[in-house]
């Protein structure tokens, strides 16, 4: 594997993991198209040994991955809504946001976050490329520009007004041209404006073998080391970083223009030092990930085969990208997992990409309670288990994909 780094253009030849071929993880299939040919692409991740950006080898364009009927709606998760509300309350208080301020969210999805800015009386704008989620935001009376973001769009937006806060939560990893995107963020800012980005932390991905968070929609797997370099290359600097429990361990970074007066906190220096100590600036820090991934995948498959041989019923919950990565890499089909339930109406009645496992509404679990329910979005497993706790009276056991290793 050799390709050019999307940040520094250096040759990338160090492989983090090769997950074979897979379809785009959110390309859910209509039942009538189940017998049609399905596009799959190599799912390989490399490590740039110059700037230490971990990234996919690109085989498909963003327009295919984030199509008009993109099925992920952020408001489906109550815990995610609570996280968004807390974020808005914190940002408003910390930076004194008011009716005189202006907030732009890149990747605003269905308005899950900006609704709280709007309720607080802070003027705001969403930027969202997918038509289905943008329409949901507009239905909530949130102004949305339906487009992919970069420098070109930023230049148009600042003709109206520059932003005091630009946020892009769980978007940065989804960006194919990370330099154009970051330069666009910088272009939007007032002189003392701030940028806020949340993204899953590469350190946790490596430590906890979170290989199921790898899919084509995630172009980059971000460390503080890599983001610090990218910001500097675009006239920005990090001045604070927070650790979050979301998505199995995330970072929230705060940035500003190089000449702004925001003082850098000790948390930035400590975070960079921790990553160096963990080997994220050395090839050996990435050397064991493939073997760990294969061990976890094989253990999950052994569990399914054992349950099948014993006549136990296994169902899944959460038609999430995490589950699709795992199911496709393990080669799981409906014989081992007859159905997966999901609360999102946009997914119900369709089939999971690759595995072609049917997606049913949660009520299907009451009609046919399984012996085991595999929760694929393990980052919100507690929330899901609370919602479905009544299944325990049927003997259903709630598990996650690493059950066989526990």
Q: Summarize pLDDT for 244-255 with one digit per residue, the tens.
A: 988 889 999 999
Q: What pLDDT is stored for residue 238 in this prediction?
A: 98
Provide long-range contacts, Cβ within 8 A and 24+ apart, for 60-67: 60/24, 60/216, 61/176, 62/129, 62/148, 62/176, 64/24, 65/24, 65/26, 65/216, 65/217, 66/129, 66/130, 66/174, 66/217, 67/27, 67/130
CA–centroid distance for 53 within its chain: 17
Distance in angstroms (rounded) separating the CA atoms of residues 130 and 73: 11
CB atoms within 10 A of CB 282: 12
Question: Hey, where are the domains in the chain?
Answer: 74-286, 303-405
| Mean pLDDT, rounded, of the chain | 93
pLDDT of residue 71: 47
Q: Is residue 402 within 8 Å of 323, Cβ to Cβ?
A: no
Residue 75 has pLDDT above 70, yes or no: no
Based on its alpha-carbon atoms, the radius of gyration of the chain, rounded to whole angstroms, reads 21
Which pLDDT score, from 0 to 100, does residue 26 have? 81
E strand or H helix at 16: strand 14-22
The average pLDDT across 83-88 equals 96
The tens digit of pLDDT for each residue in 306-349 reads 999 999 999 999 998 999 999 999 999 999 999 999 998 989 99
Top-level CATH class of 74-286?
A: alpha beta
Q: Are 304 and 4 in contact (CB under 8 A)?
A: no
Half-sphere exposure (Cβ direction) of 225: Cα atoms closer than 13 Å: 22
Cβ contact 341:370 at 8 Å: no
Give the pLDDT of residue 61: 57
Secondary structure (3-state) at 230? helix
pLDDT average, residue stretch 7-35: 91
Fold classified for 303-405: Rossmann fold (3.40.50)
pTM of the model: 0.89
Let me know if the fold of 74-286 is the same as that of 303-405.
Answer: yes
CA distances from 65 to 23, 322, 351 (A): 10, 15, 17
């Amino acid at each position: 594997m050799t390709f050019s780094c999307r940040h520094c253009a250096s040759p990338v030849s160090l492989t983090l993991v090769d997950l074979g071929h897979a379809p785009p993880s959110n390309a859910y299939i209509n039942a009538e198209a189940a017998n049609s040919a399905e596009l799959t692409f190599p799912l390989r991740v490399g490590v740039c040994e110059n700037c230490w950006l971990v990234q996919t080898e690109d085989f498909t364009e963003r327009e295919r991955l984030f199509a008009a009927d993109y099925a992920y709606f952020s408001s489906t998760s109550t815990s995610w809504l609570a996280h968004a509300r807390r974020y808005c309350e914190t940002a408003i208080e910390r930076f004194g946001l008011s009716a005189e301020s202006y907030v732009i969210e890149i990747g605003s999805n269905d308005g899950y976050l900006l609704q709280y800015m709007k309720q607080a009386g802070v003027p705001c704008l969403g930027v969202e490329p997918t038509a289905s989620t943008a329409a949901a935001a507009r239905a909530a009376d949130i102004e949305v520009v339906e487009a992919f973001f970069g420098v070109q769009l930023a230049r148009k937006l600042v003709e109206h007004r520059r932003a005091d806060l630009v946020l892009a939560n769980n978007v940065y990893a989804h960006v194919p041209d990370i330099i154009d995107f970051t330069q666009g963020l910088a272009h939007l800012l007032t002189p003392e404006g701030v940028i806020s980005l949340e993204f899953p932390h590469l350190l946790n991905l490596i430590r906890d073998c979170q290989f199921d968070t790898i899919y084509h929609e995630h172009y980059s797997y971000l460390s503080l080391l890599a983001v610090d370099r990218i910001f500097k290359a675009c006239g920005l600097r990090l001045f604070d970083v927070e650790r979050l429990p979301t998505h199995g361990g995330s970072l929230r970074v705060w940035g500003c223009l190089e000449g702004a007066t925001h003082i850098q906190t000790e948390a930035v220096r400590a975070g960079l030092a921790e990553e160096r100590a963990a080997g994220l600036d050395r090839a050996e820090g990435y050397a064991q990930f493939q073997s760990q991934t294969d061990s976890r995948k094989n253990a999950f498959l052994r569990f399914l085969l054992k349950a099948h041989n014993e006549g136990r019923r296994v169902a899944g919950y959460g038609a999430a990208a995490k589950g699709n990565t795992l199911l496709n890499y393990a080669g799981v089909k409906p014989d081992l997992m007859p159905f997966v339930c999901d609360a999102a109406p946009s997914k119900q009645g369709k089939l999971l990409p690759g595995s072609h496992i049917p997606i049913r509404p949660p009520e299907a679990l009451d009609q046919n309670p399984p012996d085991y329910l595999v929760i694929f979005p393990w980052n919100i497993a507690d929330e899901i288990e609370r919602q479905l706790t009544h299944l325990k009276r049927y003997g259903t056991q709630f598990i996650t994909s690493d059950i066989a290793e526990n």
